[in-house]
């Protein structure tokens, strides 16, 4: 059991670059401990070199549930527990829904949804025994308020993951395990450059998806407004809070988009409230 003065142990997926890397580095700078994971564990060597006593690395392709179990086994052997699980690994698939193949769609869900599911399932036995822990799911603004054409499947994978986490929070709260869903706007990492963007072939989608993909490539990639280190620090601050949020929206554009969406939802709810309240079986 962890004492108040005992540094926490964080397990971070997708820690070889981007937000995962920034978060792992920030945790180490605070004097806490990290189990850094990625498909290619060799790329994690610089993290281990930062502090060989407080950082270990483990290979983890989140689509492989056995590797997820093995990563928590490595954490158990090295540190005796895990306090914070950060589900960060994922990638973007962008293109017109009608043009994407079943294999492309399923691959997106295998990583973004089922990958997160695999990690959560591997974590729960340890967290349940500990009667403590925090699951942090890195989602996206697209997981709550998608507003750009061509992100249908990516958004769907994030919506599914958010539904999983929100329902799970109720299921495990009595065990002392918390859940936080992080919904950032665009972060200046290599996520955009590494995304699987499929050019439009059907002319009718050029005005929506085609223009969105052009904007994505020319106006967004490399110019994302949010700093990964500041995003990492905001996540840590939320986890440190006495009452951590279920949802953590980060970035000016994300806050504005979520406010707009909630406003529209509230307005529609009130407009249709009379009809909504008319469905009960008559008594």
Tokens of 105: 């769609």
Position 244 scores a pLDDT of 98
pLDDT at residue 52 tops 80: yes
Which is nearest to 74 in space by CA: 102, 112, 44? 44
Confidence of residue 1 (pLDDT cuts 50, 70, 90): low
Mean pLDDT of the chain: 95
Tokens of 276: 């909504």
pLDDT digits (tens, 9 = 90+) for 10-37: 999 999 999 999 999 999 999 999 999 9
Which DSSP state fits 39?
A: S
Q: Please compute the mean of the pLDDT values over residues 203-229 and round it to a whole number.
A: 92
pLDDT at residue 173 tops 70: yes
Position 61 scores a pLDDT of 97
Q: Which domains does the chain have, with CATH numbers?
A: 9-255 (3.40.50.720)
Residue located via tokens 């769907």: 156
pLDDT digits (tens, 9 = 90+) for 135-164: 999 999 999 999 999 999 999 999 999 999
Backbone angles phi, psi at 181, to 5 degrees: -100, 120
Position 2 scores a pLDDT of 55
Confidence of residue 218 (pLDDT cuts 50, 70, 90): confident
Position 4 scores a pLDDT of 54
Q: Rg (Cα) of the chain, in Å, rounded?
A: 20
Confidence of residue 5 (pLDDT cuts 50, 70, 90): low
Measure CA of the first residue to CA of the last residue in the chain; give whole Å.
55
Position 221 scores a pLDDT of 84
Position 3 scores a pLDDT of 53
Q: Catalytic residues, which ones?
A: 139, 154, 158
Q: CA dist 164 to 108, 116, 241, 247, Å?
A: 16, 9, 23, 13
């Amino acid at each position: 059991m962890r004492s108040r003065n005992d540094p926490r142990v964080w397990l971070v997926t997708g820690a070889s670059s981007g937000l995962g890397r920034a978060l792992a580095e920030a945790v180490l700078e605070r004097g806490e401990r990290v189990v850094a994971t990625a498909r290619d564990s060799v790329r994690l060597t610089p993290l281990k070199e930062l502090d060989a006593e407080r950082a270990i690395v483990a290979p983890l392709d989140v689509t492989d549930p056995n590797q997820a179990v093995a990563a928590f086994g490595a954490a158990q052997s090295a540190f005796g527990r895990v306090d914070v699980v950060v589900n960060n690994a994922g990638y973007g698939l962008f293109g017109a829904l009608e043009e994407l193949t079943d294999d492309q769609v399923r691959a997106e869900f295998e990583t973004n949804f089922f990958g997160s599911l695999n990690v959560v399932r591997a974590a729960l036995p340890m967290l349940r025994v500990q009667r403590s822990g925090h699951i942090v799911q890195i989602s996206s603004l697209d997981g709550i308020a998608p507003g750009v054409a061509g992100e249908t499947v990516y958004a769907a994978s994030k919506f599914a993951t958010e539904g999983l986490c929100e329902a799970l929070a109720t299921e495990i709260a009595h065990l002392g395990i918390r859940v936080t869903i992080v919904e950032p706007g665009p972060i200046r990492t290599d996520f955009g450059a590494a995304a699987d963007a499929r050019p439009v072939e059907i002319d009718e989608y050029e005005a929506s998806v085609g223009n969105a993909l052009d904007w994505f490539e020319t106006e967004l990639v490399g110019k994302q407004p949010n700093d990964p280190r500041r995003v990492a620090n905001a996540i840590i601050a939320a986890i440190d809070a006495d009452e951590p949020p279920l949802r953590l929206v980060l970035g000016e554009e994300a806050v504005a988009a979520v406010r707009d969406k909630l406003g529209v939802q509230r307005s529609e709810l009130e407009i249709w409230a009379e009809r909504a309240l008319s469905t009960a079986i008559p008594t």
